[in-house]
Structure 1
Amino acid sequence: MKGSRLSVVGAAAGSAVLLLSAPAFAHVSVQPEGEAAKGGYAVIDFKVPNERDNASTTKLEVSFPTDHPLASVMPQPVDGWKVEVTKSKLDKPLELHGEKITEAVSKVTWTADGKGIEPGYFQKFPLSVGQLPEDTDELVFKALQTYSNKEVVRWIEVQEGDEEPENPAPVLELSAATDDHHGSGSDDTAASDDAKSESSSGATETAAASADSSDTTARVLGIVGIAVGAAGVAFGVLAGRRRTSS
């Protein structure tokens, strides 16, 4: 009986821990659709779960990093939500595709037209962004989540060390740059030319070897033919002599 009671108490305690720790994982986050490579463009999704049982999420504000500004930000329409893109002047202009950019997106705001994100649900908010910076491994976005009861949760804390803060800011991890984003075409062209040269050289050597083989075969056949012909003549002469003798 004592053992069964202890197991029941342990199970209840474990369930309580799970219930208490679950909200820590339900925070606003950002993930790329595929990869977010340095120097390129990507589609990223802000995932917003509803953490309340008695209110809906009706607004999301995402502030963009000022130390690595993004000149191009295009939202994808989301049913039941209005979106507003706010731009700000840059202290230092950016150069994008040979043009100077004097302003960049500083904030994107989604506001619900209807019920918003109801309890027990989550919503994704996609953005096409670029050009991603090359001198950092991550981008930190700060987000404000507003509920229908006017409560505002500030997801703005930057993680330092291994322990995650209570309200962590969404962080986008950047992957290594690829050839699609950086023109290393000269190297590829050189490699291609080398490959073509090697292929051409190989074909020439193969053709030469084939020609040499054919020539050798012809010579051998010619010698064999001469030998056979000589043998035939000799046989004819001997046969004639035998007939004459007989």
Structure 2
Amino acid sequence: MARRLPVVGGIAAGSVLLLAGPAFAHVTVQPGTAPKGGFATVDIKVPNERDNASTVKVEVSLPADHPLASVMPQPVPGWKVEVTKSKLAKPIEMEGEKITEAPSTVTWTADGDGIAPGQFQQFPLSVGQLPSDTDQLVFKALQTYSNKEVVRWIEPAKPGGPEPENPAPVLKLTAADAQDGGAKGAGDGKNGAKDGSTAAAAPASDTTARVLAIGGIVVGVIGVAFGVLAGRRRNA
């Protein structure tokens, strides 16, 4: 049996490598859902699918049919980021202000080696205001490798159909919860109650700790006394 274990281990390791292979590595939006009508922070997750090249550039096209007035990237060490704006065919309003141009693309360019083979990188974005009249937003992406190869993640997925070879990243939009504000307040209240419970429980915990400590001392004293008596009996 001992000789067979390395073989079984090798098979298991091979299975893990297969599951982690390129067929399962796509450019995606994480998390994949966000509530309609609000703002969200998402990550553009970019895995490197090549064994002989690094990812040195990522360009994401923002949805033109549902423009996002606010798009703010979080700095990523080792990468330069540029947000390009375009004029809107139809102005939109956000918080009472008319918006005539909006971000159309976000481009990250590596300062150094980029994303190495077998690794991935997340690029955080704060986006909003998310539309209320659609169930999803499509973020088409171009991934450029150090060998000049460009992979176009732009293919839309069809409902009920097979997954495209290079699917476009999608952010699913869920119904906005009318209780969001109240739930947040309730959450704060719960936190307050939790803090209060913790504060109230602290004295009880201290008392318990003291009792246990005293008990431990008493047991220790008894043990020492017993040892002394036992020693005297042996000497006698």
Q: TM-score, normalised by structure 1?
A: 0.64
Q: CA deviation at 1:87?
A: 0.5
Q: For residue 101 of structure 1, give the secondary structure of its aligned residue in structure 2.
A: strand
Equivalent residue for 1:78? Answer: 76
Partner of 2:59: 61
Q: Give secondary structure in 2 for the equivalent of 1:164.
A: coil
Post-superposition shift, 1:32? 3.1
Separation (CA, whole Å) in 2 of partners of 1:32 and 1:26: 15
Task: Report the counterpart of residue 22 of structure 2 in structure 1.
Answer: 23
1:23 deviates by 1.6
Count how many residue pairs are aligned between Structure 1 and Structure 2.
Answer: 170
| Corresponding residue for residue 141 of structure 1 | 139
Gaps of 5+ in 1: 1-11, 184-246
| 2:162 aligned residue | 163
Pair 1:44 & 2:42 matched? yes
Residue matched to 2:96? 98
2-structure distance, mates of 1:25, 1:132: 28
Q: Per-residue deviation at 1:86? A: 0.4
- Distance in 2 (CA, whole Å) between partners of 1:67 and 1:58 is 28
- What's the CA shift for 1:152? 0.3
* 2:55 partner letter: T
The alpha-carbon distance between structure 1 residues 108 and 32, as it changes in their structure 2 partners (threshold 3 A), is same
Specify the alignment match of 1:154 in structure 2: 152
- Please report how far the alpha carbon of residue 114 of structure 1 lies from its aligned counterpart in structure 2 after TM superposition: 0.2
The code of the aligned residue for 1:106 comes to: S
Aligned to 2:86: 88
Instruction: Give 1:125's aligned residue.
Output: 123
Query: Aligned Cα RMSD in Å?
Result: 2.5
Shift of residue 19 of structure 1? 4.2
Shift of residue 130, structure 1, vs aligned partner: 0.2
Letter in 1 for 2:157: Q
In structure 2, C-alpha distance between the alignment counterparts of 1:21 and 1:119, rounded to whole Å: 12
**1:84 alignment partner, SS class:** strand
Q: How far, CA to CA, are the matches of 1:180 and 1:66 in structure 2?
A: 30
Cα distance, 1:162 vs. partner?
3.0
Name stretches of at least 5 consecutive residues in structure 2 with no aligned partner.
Answer: 1-10, 183-236
State the 1:175 CA deviation: 1.6
The amino acid across from 1:100 in the alignment is K
Match of 2:214 in 1: none
Q: Which amino acid aligns with 1:168?
A: P
**Is 2:177 aligned against 1:178?**
yes
Residue by residue over 1:77-135, the C-alpha shift from the partner in whole angstroms, topping out at 9 and shown as x without a partner, is 00000000000000110011101000111000000000000011100000000000001
Specify the code of the residue in structure 2 equivalent to 1:124.
Answer: Q
Return the letter of the residue paired with 1:167.
N
Pair 21,75 (structure 1): closer, same or farther in 2 beyond 3 Å: closer
Query: Structure 1 residue 154: deviation in Å?
Result: 0.3
- Tell me if the contact between 1:39 and 1:181 (Cα under 8 Å) persists in the aligned partners: no
Structure 2 residue aligned with 1:5: none
Match for residue 201 of structure 1? Answer: none
Distance across 1 between alignment mates of 2:19 and 2:178:
46
Partner of 2:208: none
- Is the partner of 1:44 in helix, strand or coil? strand
Sequence identity percentage: 75
